[in-house]
Amino acid sequence: MTQILSKMKFNAVPANVSFPEMEEAILQLWHQKEVFQRSMKEREGGPEYVFFEGPPTANGRPGIHHVLARAFKDMFPRYKTMKGFHVLRKGGWDTHGLPVELEVEKQLGLAGKEQIDQYGIAKFNQMCKESVWEYLSDWEALTERMAFWVSLEDAYVTMNNDYIQSLWWILKQLWNKDLLFEGYKVVPYCPRCGTPLSSHELSLGYKEGTVDPSIYVKFAVKNEKNTFLLAWTTTPWTLPGNAALAVGENIEYVKVKDRSGAQLYLAKELTRTVLEPGYELLEEMKGSALVGKEYEPLFRFDSPAEDYAYVIAADFVSTDDGAGIVHIAPAFGADDLAVGQAHGLPILHTVDAAGQFKPEITPWAGVFVKDADPAITADLQARGLLYKAETYEHTYPFCWRCDTPLIYWAKKTWYLRTSDFQERLVALNHAINWVPDHIRAGRFGRWLENNVDWALGRDRYWATPIPIWKSDAPGSAYLECVGSLAELAAKTGQDLNDLDLHRPYVDEITWPAPDGGTMRRVSEVCDVWFDSGSMPVAQWHYPFANQEEWKTYQQADYICEAIDQTRGWFYTLHAVSTLLFDRPAFKNVICLGHILAEDGSKMSKSKGNIVSPWQIFAEHGADATRWYMYTAGPPGNARRFSSNLVAEVKRRFLNTLWNTYSFFVMYANLAPDWSPATNDKEDAAEETRPNAQLESRNSLDRWLLSELNRLVQDVTDAYENYDVTTATRPIADFVDDLSNWYVRLNRRRFWEGDATALRTLHHTLVTLSKLLAPAIPFISDEIYQNLVVAVEPGEPDSVHLATWPLADESVIDAHLRADMKLAQKVTTLGRAARETAALKVRQPLQQVVVRTRSEEERAGLERVTEMLLTELNVKELAFADDAGDLVEVEVFPLPRQLGQKYGRGYPVIRKTFAQMDQEELARRFDAGESVAVETDSQRYVVEAEDVEVRRSPKAGLSVAEDGGYLVAVTTTLTPELELEGHARELVRRIQQLRKDADLAISDRIRLTMPDTPLLTTLLTAHRDYILAETLTLEIASIPKSGPVADGASATFPLGAEKVTVGLMKA
RNA sequence: GGGCCUGUAGCUCAGCCGGUUAGAGCACUGUGCUGAUAACGCAGGGGUCCGUGGUUCGAGUCCACGCAGGCCCA
């Protein structure tokens, strides 16, 4: 035992490993060695690679979708660090906004703004501030456990004064450029939350199948007795706000008389669907003929100064639904407001900020508008102004947090004039590398093309206050924008260093206005998306500090989030950067698809199909989870997720990798003549030919190194192109080849301690650990620690501090690759052929006959003959062309060549050839002749290179065929072959017996065997082979009936005999 | 209603510039191999390549129109 210990070079590696436990140990190691910190520090002075962290909110629990995003975020900084870049990984937290407020409202049992005001803004915001960190420890733990390397200690926090001051500075810049303005705009508005919703918030709350009223209303035409314009609406509550009716100028309209005798105008196309049967057609006219007609307003709560209640033309009028005449309420629709402003129509504001009718709307004053729908409908009915009332099912927006139906409502608020920059937004987007590519012109591009001004204001509490002060003098429009705390202090003459830049404290700051009033802050706060979109600037508290850092880190090389951020963070980053700096905020972006449950449905709390990252980590580990995320499909696609899917990845890829590693360590530790120290340094960065020391005459070694270097090349290219799938999947394929081809075929060499083989495998595993480090940081470092750090002083302390491998193109051998592929193909077919004839691989056979597709392939196969013979356990290789009578011939016309040459002639040629004598055809083509095919009208000349002559073995052989290849094996067994088969069978039985007896792999043994005829013959012919294979010192032949020696024994059939073999440790 | 994406075996996914018989893994069944491997090999069942039309000598691949799902926008 001591003897073995002294030879030990690597820590023994158990074949069975608990990945989660191993990962915990690696976390400890990183902690002790401060690997993360050093991965940044040791690259200082190198080129910078800039990553922006999209800030999460810590008042919600992190879920598996966060693991997805963070896995993708993490790999590029790791890769670039290994490439020598300095990558600062500054974290960030999004801390403001409605989600936080709503959580606190819930806690406090408050409902709506009025109650918050009563409760007190100071106390409320204090609660928000604390609530923000509700799940901070969960986030920290998850970040650590999954090895997402990000600096949380110096993370930016959007609610900090420094951050807010930077936002004020940005707003001041925009103010100076006249890009901030207050204007009417119809916004989706949540009456309960008392705030407009941004377009990105709006998108969160659409509900299909919402049922609303659908009513057809009669507007009495002035000076035309008993005549009405028929208009349709699904929002009866907007009718008191009606200012006009719109028609399409070129749409055909009709005037009809219904059974009651009333005359109605409506679109011709819609008469059938809208009108009750029994109407009479009176007139037809274009919409333009209706323009200018005046009608009696339905209600007269306001008496606006402007002209209103007449027919106008609008291009958005359609005949898809309704009556082809559109009710226009400028206060309650974006189109309505636009067309209303164009015609100078009044904005009839009938609804207050709580979504209730104002006092002057006497019948329904104080009623929530949606609740007033039935009463309004009934009122119209009573006055004979309702044509009919139905219900209508459509998609309608609801508040994404509180589920209140939204209303469209004209509100005065602060806007950012992004639409002025629409062309620049689009132009700058072209410079961004989007993954997947289609987002650039597709979803994101489309969004930019349809850019509308950014509604920046929110009538809320816990967010960045808009730093605009307004004079409260009556009728005053005097405004000032404040760009810093110092500026504010100067205006007020106060020391404001301790001022909390939140409501209500900021609201309390006032100063005298030049027009005699007092400057008071406008009530609104900023859309939180402005916070995160401004992080490139604000994370550095720029321009108040960190001028150098800002210079270095102002533009990201890489960001990554899920696709829902197209209108969220991706947009706000791009918008702020374009408006301020006229350049994109990020150069490369991976836009991830969503995570779905195993059955492809959405993961949601209500369905109860949420998968906890912690559970998956505990079962399979973070590496397995990460690897699944990378390899499950293209990053932009939605991906299904479940424990089972991760388990499959672990079993197929991680276990294979681990076992190869474990195998290597076992044999390397047994080998007397080899240690990694005898390997020359493999520091790729320092040598132009990093693999020069690995040269080997062995074709399998050369093949493996060729494949490895090719892999390095492919994976490197993939990382450079942000192609995660290609950076990962080929590694799994390689590991499969490594384990099931290279290692399998070389077992004997490892057993013999072949230094070249060990060196090759060691180098391969170390290189693999580097290639895998960005993706699976735990296992890769575990391997690296044992294979490099533990044995090679002076090497980096962790794979994450190592340099990325360089591909050595000189060892990439395309021919060898092709040869080996062919060998694998032929082996597969050879096994199939054996299978058909029920010949075990253990049974040696005389000959394998192969038909290749070309001379080159034949030559290639000859180069790997030995390997092929070993794998197939046959004595000799022959080629079908040599096999004379055994061969059947077929001439196959190649579709590519002939199709291009003769087009529709190809099927004719194929048909004709099939009917011809194949032997004869083959002879002519082999001789280089061409063959003409003639039809009634055409003559097609087929050259030798247009066909493939295929030769297939006939009878007496067992045959398997695929893709133009054919492999046959001879089925006749000679006594010698049979005996050799028995020898192999015996060896296998003894090996199994050793295993069952729990012997160490290097233990020597003694055997007892009965002196049966077969065994006697066998031992005479193959004694040395059996001794060597099974580490047997001595075989004692005992009488067949005699007792078995002490120790293990096994009884099994061998040939026609049944034998019992006894085993003792020597 | 509009935009973007996806649709290939029971499941997860490949499938290049249109070209030989549409592949791999998982799962299932059978069988074999094995002193690294809960691994691997071989065989079998399993496919209207979402549908319909078109272009072409030839379409999973290109075009058009649909259908279904996802996401986004109205």
- The mean pLDDT of A1016-1022, rounded to a whole number, is 81
Q: Which of residues 531-550 of A touch strand B (CB under 7 A)?
A: none
- The mean pLDDT of A976-993, rounded to a whole number, is 77
Does the pLDDT value for residue A972 go beyond 60?
yes
Does the pLDDT value for residue A433 go beyond 80?
yes
Burial environment of residue A44 by CB neighbours within 10 A (0 to 12, 13 to 18, 19 or more): exposed
Gap from A603 CA to B23 C1', Å:
31
Residue A169 annotated in active site: no
Gap from A645 CA to B6 C1', Å:
20
Assess whether A906 (CB) lies less than 7 A from strand B.
yes
With CA of A950 and C1' of each nucleotide, the nearest comes out as B20
Q: Which of residues 976-995 of A touch strand B (CB under 7 A)?
A: 984, 987-988, 991-992, 994-995
**What is the CB-side half-sphere exposure of residue A41 using CA atoms within 13 A?**
6
**Which protein residue has its CA closest to C1' of B40?**
A740
Average pLDDT over all residues of chain A:
84
With CA of A903 and C1' of each nucleotide, the nearest comes out as B57
Does the pLDDT value for residue A659 go beyond 80?
yes
DSSP A838-893: T--TTS-EEEEEEE-SSHHHHHHHHHTHHHHHHHHTEEEEEEGGGGGGGEEEEEEE
Question: From residue A221, how far is each of A310, A314, A835, A900 by CA, in Å?
Answer: 9, 19, 91, 72
Does the pLDDT value for residue A711 go beyond 60?
yes
Q: What is the pLDDT of residue A696?
A: 65
Please write the tens of the pLDDT for every residue from A296-329.
999 988 888 888 999 988 777 777 677 888 899 9
Q: What is the pLDDT of residue A436?
A: 86
- Identify the residue with better confidence: A381 or A690: A381
Distance CA A50, CA A900 (A): 51
Q: Which of residues 185-204 of A touch strand B (CB under 7 A)?
A: 199-200, 202-204
In degrees rounded to 5, what are phi and psi of residue A569?
-60, -40
On strand B, nucleotides with any atom < 7 Å from a protein CB are 1, 3-6, 11-14, 19-21, 23, 25-26, 30-43, 56-58, 69-74
Q: What is the DSSP letter of A314?
A: -
Gap from A895 CA to B54 C1', Å:
23
Residue A569 annotated in active site: yes
- Identify the residue with better confidence: A967 or A344: A344
Distance CA A590, CA A643 (A): 25
Assess whether A964 (CB) lies less than 7 A from strand B.
yes
Q: What is the pLDDT of residue A931?
A: 80
Q: What is the pLDDT of residue A607?
A: 64
Q: What is the pLDDT of residue A678?
A: 55
The catalytically annotated residue of A30, A237, A400, A529 is A529
The catalytically annotated residue of A20, A55, A346, A467 is A55
- Across-strand partners of A265? A229, A255
Residue A674 annotated in active site: no
Q: What is the pLDDT of residue A1025?
A: 80
Most confident of A620-634, A865-879, A882-896: A620-634
Please write the tens of the pLDDT for every residue from A1027-1058.
877 788 878 777 665 555 566 777 776 776 77
Q: What is the pLDDT of residue A180?
A: 93
Distance CA A465, CA A523 (A): 8
Assess whether A388 (CB) lies less than 7 A from strand B.
no
Q: Are A397 and A390 in contact (CB under 8 A)?
A: no
Assess whether A949 (CB) lies less than 7 A from strand B.
no
Q: Which residues contact A360 (CB under 8 A, 6 or more apart)?
A: A301, A302, A350
- The mean pLDDT of A119-128, rounded to a whole number, is 95
Assess whether A961 (CB) lies less than 7 A from strand B.
yes
**Amino acid making up residue A452:** V
Q: What is the pLDDT of residue A952?
A: 59
Does the pLDDT value for residue A452 go beyond 60?
yes
Q: Which of residues 272-291 of A touch strand B (CB under 7 A)?
A: none
Does the pLDDT value for residue A371 go beyond 50?
yes
Provide the sign of the torsion angle of the four alpha carbons A258, A261, A267, A268, taken in this order.
positive
Q: Are strands A206-220 and A310-313 parallel, antiparallel or unpaired?
A: unpaired
Confidence of residue A955 (pLDDT cuts 50, 70, 90): very low
Q: What is the pLDDT of residue A998?
A: 73
- The mean pLDDT of A619-637, rounded to a whole number, is 89
Please write the tens of the pLDDT for every residue from A179-201.
999 877 787 888 887 777 755 46
Six token digits for residue A539: 């994370």
Q: Where are the alpha helices (DSSP H) in A721-788?
A: 724-737, 744-745, 747-751, 755-772, 777-784
Question: How many Å separate Cα A879 from the centre of its chain?
Answer: 49
Most confident of A321-330, A844-853, A911-920: A321-330
Distance CA A800, CA A518 (A): 60
Assess whether A939 (CB) lies less than 7 A from strand B.
no
Confidence of residue A173 (pLDDT cuts 50, 70, 90): very high
With CA of A904 and C1' of each nucleotide, the nearest comes out as B57
Does the pLDDT value for residue A92 go beyond 90?
yes
- Identify the residue with better confidence: A73 or A403: A73
- Identify the residue with better confidence: A747 or A241: A241
With CA of A996 and C1' of each nucleotide, the nearest comes out as B35
Confidence of residue A684 (pLDDT cuts 50, 70, 90): very low
Q: Which of residues 825-844 of A touch strand B (CB under 7 A)?
A: 828, 831-832, 835, 840-842
- Identify the residue with better confidence: A448 or A978: A448
Assess whether A639 (CB) lies less than 7 A from strand B.
yes
Please write the tens of the pLDDT for every residue from A216-268.
999 999 999 899 999 988 889 999 999 999 888 777 889 999 888 899 999 88
Please write the tens of the pLDDT for every residue from A502-527.
999 999 999 999 999 999 999 999 99
Please write the tens of the pLDDT for every residue from A473-497.
998 989 999 999 999 999 998 889 8
Gap from A644 CA to B28 C1', Å:
17
Q: Which residues contact A953 (CB under 8 A, 6 or more apart)?
A: A849, A851, A880, A883, A886, A887, A888, A959, A966, A968
Q: Which of residues 469-498 of A touch strand B (CB under 7 A)?
A: none
Six token digits for residue A876: 């000799």
Q: Can you tell me which residue has the tokens 């075929």?
A: A745
Q: What is the pLDDT of residue A316?
A: 73
Assess whether A1038 (CB) lies less than 7 A from strand B.
no
Distance CA A864, CA A847 (A): 16
Residue A565 annotated in active site: yes
Distance CA A957, CA A954 (A): 7
What ipTM is given for this predicted complex?
0.81
Q: What is the pLDDT of residue A598?
A: 67
In degrees rounded to 5, what are phi and psi of residue A891?
-100, 120
Assess whether A730 (CB) lies less than 7 A from strand B.
no
Residue A422 annotated in active site: no
- Identify the residue with better confidence: A694 or A537: A537
